[in-house]
A and B are shown apart, each in its own frame.
Chain A
Amino acid sequence: MENVLTRKLATLSPFGPKDKELLANTVIGERTVKAHEDIIREGESPDDVHLITSGFACRHKILPDGSRQIFAYLLPGDFCDLHVFILDVMDHTISTLSPCTVVDIPRKAILRLTERPAIARALWWATLVDESTLREAVVNMGRRRAEERVAHFLCELLARLENVGLVADNTFSLPITQAELSDTMGLSTVHMNRVLQYFRGQKLITFSRGRLKVLNVEALKRFSSFNPNYLHLGRHKPKLD
C-alpha cells in the first residue's frame, strides 16, 4: 500500500523498490487513539517511535499554573518522536487533538530504515524540517501581530495538508477548539475569537464544525507575508547525488 509516510517521504528523495517494500512492511498495525489523550509524556523513554497516520496531534508543554503552549502540530505522515530514538527521554508531551490513528514502530525497525541511504536522508530531512517549522513558530509568536500570526499559521496548515493530499477546494478538517488555537498562538481566547471574527468579516475564511475553508488563499498569504520556503516542500534533489 502507499501509506502516508511513503507519500510524504517519497516527495523528498526517490525510493527504490527495496526502500518502498521496507517502508510498507514497517508501517503496519495501526491503532486508534481518542482525542485529547497523551501519546507520550514528558520524562518517558519509549521503546517505539510513533507515526501519525490520520488525525491531528500536537507537541506541548504545561506550566505549573496550568497554562499550556502548543508549539508543533503533527499531521498524517509525521513522526512524533523520531529524535527520542537518539535522545532517550522525552522533553515534552505529545497528545492527540482529534481522534488519531497511530503506528508504533519499534526502535529496531527504525534502525533498519536508517540503513537504507535514501530513507535515512528522508528521515534526516523530516527532522530538519521539524526544526525549521519550529523556528518559524518562534518568529510568528515573537514578532507578528495577532492577525498576521494566525493567518500565517493557517497558511502553513493549508500548505502542509495539501502536501499530504488532505485539502480539497481550499477546505480542510481542523478538528480543534478555539482554546487549543489560543494555546497555539499564545493569545487569550477572547483575542483568538476576535481574530477569527475579523477574518470572517474580511471574507478570508469560514470555520464551522471543525472544517476550515480559506476563501481567498492569495489574500491570506499576502496578509501574513507567508513564504513557504521553511517547509521545504516539493521534490528534493539531494546535493550529494
Chain B
Amino acid sequence: MPRFFFHVYDRARTPDQVGTEFPNLETMQIEAVHFTGEMLREQGYGSSPISPLAIEVTDEDGVTVLRVEVGLTWPSKVQTHVPPPFGKFLQ
C-alpha cells in the first residue's frame, strides 16, 4: 500500500517523518480532511494559539498530492490571515 506523509503548517511547522499507508487516494483524502478538522480542534486549548492551518500531503517521492488549507479572516478590519506558504522544510 502506498505511504503518504502529512506535514502540518501552523505556528509550529512539523514535518511527518513516518507516514501512514492507505489503500487508495480516496481514503487518504478523507483521512486528510478528518485530520485537518482534528488539528483545528486542538487550537485554542490552554495556551495554544489560534492560527491559520495547512496540511500538505506528499507521496513517497516527496511529490505534493493534496493540500488542505484553513484561513482566518476578519472582514470588518479588512485584514486577512491566509495559511502559511507550503514547502519550507521540504526543499
Q: Which residues of A contact B (CB under 8 A)?
A: 145-146, 187-191, 193-194, 197-198
Closest to B45 in A: A145
- Segment at the interface with A among B28-36, B71-79, B83-91: B28-36
With a CB–CB cut-off of 8 A, which chain B residues contact A145? 42, 45-46, 48
7 residue pairs, one from A and one from B, having the closest CB atoms: A190-B35, A188-B34, A188-B35, A145-B45, A190-B6, A191-B38, A190-B20
CA distance A188 to B4 in the complex (A): 14
- Nearest-CB distance from B10 to chain A (Å)? 12
The answer to whether B16 touches A188, judged by C-beta atoms less than 8 angstroms apart, is no
Q: Considering the chains assembled together, what is the distance between the CA atoms of A175 and B9 in angstroms?
A: 32
Q: How far is the CA of A197 from the CA of B46 in the complex (A)?
A: 21
Contact between A194 and B6, CB atoms less than 8 A apart: yes
Residues of A within 8 A of B6 (CB): 190, 193-194
Option from B31, B45, B46 in Cβ contact (under 8 Å) with A190: B31
Instruction: Give 17 CB contacts A-B under 8 Å.
Output: A145-B42, A145-B45, A145-B46, A145-B48, A146-B38, A187-B38, A188-B31, A188-B35, A190-B6, A190-B16, A190-B31, A191-B39, A193-B18, A193-B19, A193-B20, A197-B16, A197-B18
Q: A193 to B16, alpha carbons, bound, how many Å?
A: 9
Smallest CB gap from B55: residue in A: A190
Report B-chain residues with C-beta under 8 Å of the C-beta of A146.
38, 42
Q: Please determine whether B18 and A188 come into contact, CB atoms closer than 8 angstroms.
A: no
Considering the complex, which residues of chain B in the window 11-52 have a beta carbon less than 8 Å from any beta carbon of chain A? 14, 16-20, 31-32, 34-35, 38-39, 42, 45-46, 48
Determine whether the beta carbon of B16 is less than 8 Å from that of A194: yes
